[in-house]
Structure 1
Amino acid sequence: MPSFLEAPVACAYHLLTSLIATLQPLTGTYAAVIAIVLCTVVVRLGLVPLSVRAHRGSKARAELMPQLKQLTDKHKNNPERLQREIAKLQAESGTSMFAGFLPALAQLPFFWLMYTLFSRAVVAGESNQLISGSVLGAPLGTHWPLFTATPAYLVIAVLLAVVAFFSTRLQLRQLDPSATILSRRIAQLLPFGTLLSAAFLPLAAGLYLLTTTAWTIAERTLLTR
């Protein structure tokens, strides 16, 4: 790993181990699990302004759909002109096609840190204490196997599937009525990608995915209301 990336990894490691040490007298062997959940919640709280902006942008884009359709029909034979007109319309309305991706992009550094911290045997020049934590008998640093003797993987997989199910329902409700069948299929299947992702990540990252996706559903529901 490049040396300039070692500093944030070491800093995050010491912060997380200190938090676990603080929680351990109260939570025992689940201190590491609770620390991961708490850190994820803190990150998501910090990203609330971006989520609100993304939601407002999504709502504004939905209101622009009739105008976008008119522009598409009018300039369908002139892609360059179409792109200019769409950009002009977005600039005038103050919307952006990429605003909806801001919360997800902003989480990438934290997700990278989480993956790094639970994938290395040595961090900050010392033996990694984080990977010794466990949930339901499964070490947090182990990757998700297809079959395992511990129930942790099955429990998190079921919870991820339940969260993905509710996420699918929420996305379909918010989808434009004129959306194509393909768009609806993608909206139905995309949330279940967390299950596939978790299969290649440490168990700690699976906990992160579970926490952040559950937060996203609750946040979108509140913002919609």
Structure 2
Amino acid sequence: MASLSVFADLVASLADLLDPLCHDSATAAAIVVFTALVRLLVLPLSLAAARGQRARARLAPQIAALRTKHRKDPAALQRALTALHAEHQVSPLSGCLPSLLQLPAFFLLYHLFSSGSIGGEPNALLGHTLLGVPLGGRWHEALAEGGPFGAPGLVYLALFLLVAAVATASLRRTRRGMAASGPLLPAGEDGRPAPGLGALTRVLPLMSFLTLISVAVLPLAAALYVVTSTTWSAVERAVLYREREQPEARAEGAAA
């Protein structure tokens, strides 16, 4: 695959640039830098998604009223919601674009560190390491080598702890946001959320913990991409959330 060879050359070039600083872990550092570059490329879309989220939050009372008004007519509700979003130039799907555009980069990285050969030649990148742990290796191999507290196991343990900390912070922020914006679930005929959707809103904030499974089953190189991107997302949301709170706080102070 030609694209895989080009991507391998890109990773190798980044590793060469970082070698004076990172030495044997230069390729791992190159993956982190590559992930950051990808996130910078989709940053305009992330900012647009944040603006869309703020716009949807402002429309929350109108959306709730429409769902109450049309709770017996799903088709009319859908038409009314579409018209409302079009009137305010809000796309319900804008928040998905940053994640979707990252998928090709992730799959290339996964394939690169899962393939034994590139262009008919042995894949030399599989021998590169992070603190002595092969970037093409997986957690179960680290456990077999030295157990959870052996040198390879400790590298994974550090990643697990980082993911858990980021996921916990994201969970708390998501719950605060949901509490502030109120429920936006479709209402049934009695005005209550449709059966099963209440449980769904409780489960969705926990999805960030699925990154732990990714770290456990993916090649270490791909796990580094996922951990770096997840951490970036958490920091990005925290900054955007703080920027959103500041004008709201000033508005409340002026009203008082």
Q: TM-score, normalised by structure 1?
A: 0.91
Match of 2:223 among 206, 217, 220: 206
Q: Determine if contact 2:170/2:208 at 8 Å carries over to the other structure.
A: yes
Equivalent position amino acid for 2:59 in 1: L
Q: Cα offset for 1:176?
A: 4.6
CA apart distance, 1:14: 1.0
Question: 1:153 Cα shift?
Answer: 1.4
For 1:10 and 1:212, the matched residues in 2 are separated by 23
CA RMSD of aligned residues (A): 1.7
Instruction: Give yes or no for the alignment of 1:51 onto 2:46.
Output: yes
Provide Cα deviations, 1:26-47, integer angstroms capped at 9, x if missing partner: 3210101110010011111111
Match of 1:154 among 154, 157, 175: 157
Q: Which has the larger displacement, 109-118 or 186-195?
A: 186-195
1:175 aligns to what?
Answer: 178
My pick for the range that moved more, 54-63 or 150-159, is: 150-159
Quick check: 2:24–2:131 contact (8 Å CA) kept in 1?
no
**Structure 1 consecutive aligned stretches of length 4 or more whose deviation exceeds 6 Å:** none
The one of 12, 17, 23 equivalent to 2:12 is: 17
Contact preservation (8 Å) 1:172, 1:184 = no
Fraction of identical pairs, as percent? 41
Secondary structure of residue in 2 paired with 1:165: helix
Shift of 1:183: 5.1
Name the CA distance, whole Å, in 2 between partners of 1:30 and 1:121: 20
For the residue of structure 2 that corresponds to 1:175, the secondary structure is helix
1:155 partner amino acid: A
Q: Does 1:76 align with 2:79?
A: no
The Cα of 1:130 is off from its aligned counterpart by 1.4
CA contact (8 A) 1:168 1:187 kept: no
**Match of 1:142?**
137
CA deviation map 1:123-146 (0-9, x unaligned): 122211211111232211012228
> Contact between 1:32 and 1:134, CA under 8 Å: does it hold in 2?
yes
Which position in structure 2 is the counterpart of 1:186?
203
Amino acid paired to 1:24:
D
Matching residue of 1:28:
23
Structure 1 residue 219 and structure 2 residue 236: aligned?
yes
Contact 2:171 2:205 in 1 (8 A): yes
Long gaps (5+) in structure 1: 1-5
Counterpart of 1:43 in structure 2: which amino acid? V
Greater alpha carbon shift after TM alignment, 129-138 vs 140-149 = 140-149
Which ranges of structure 2 fall in alignment gaps of 5 or more residues?
147-151, 186-197, 244-256
Q: What is the aligned counterpart of 1:96 among 91, 116, 131? A: 91
User: Which of 110, 122, 129 is the aligned partner of 1:127?
Assistant: 122
**Cα drift, residue 111 of structure 1:** 0.6
Name the structure 2 match of 1:86. 81
Change (3 A) 1:211 1:165: same
Please name the residue that 1:8 is paired with.
3
Query: What do residues 46-79 of structure 1 show as CA deviations (whole Å, max 9, x unaligned)?
Result: 1110000000111111111111111111111111
Alpha-carbon distance in structure 2 between the residues aligned to 1:95 and 1:133:
45
2: CA distance between counterparts of 1:133 and 1:161?
A: 26
- With normalisation by structure 2, the TM-score equals 0.81
Comparing 102-111 with 150-159, which one deviates more in the overlay? 150-159
Distance (whole Å) between structure 2 residues aligned to residue 8 and residue 83 of structure 1 = 42
Q: Is the 8 A contact 2:159 2:215 kept in 1?
A: no
Name the aligned partner's letter for residue 117 of structure 1: L
The one-letter code of the counterpart of 1:218 is V
Check conservation: 1:140, 1:202, Cα contact below 8 A.
Answer: yes
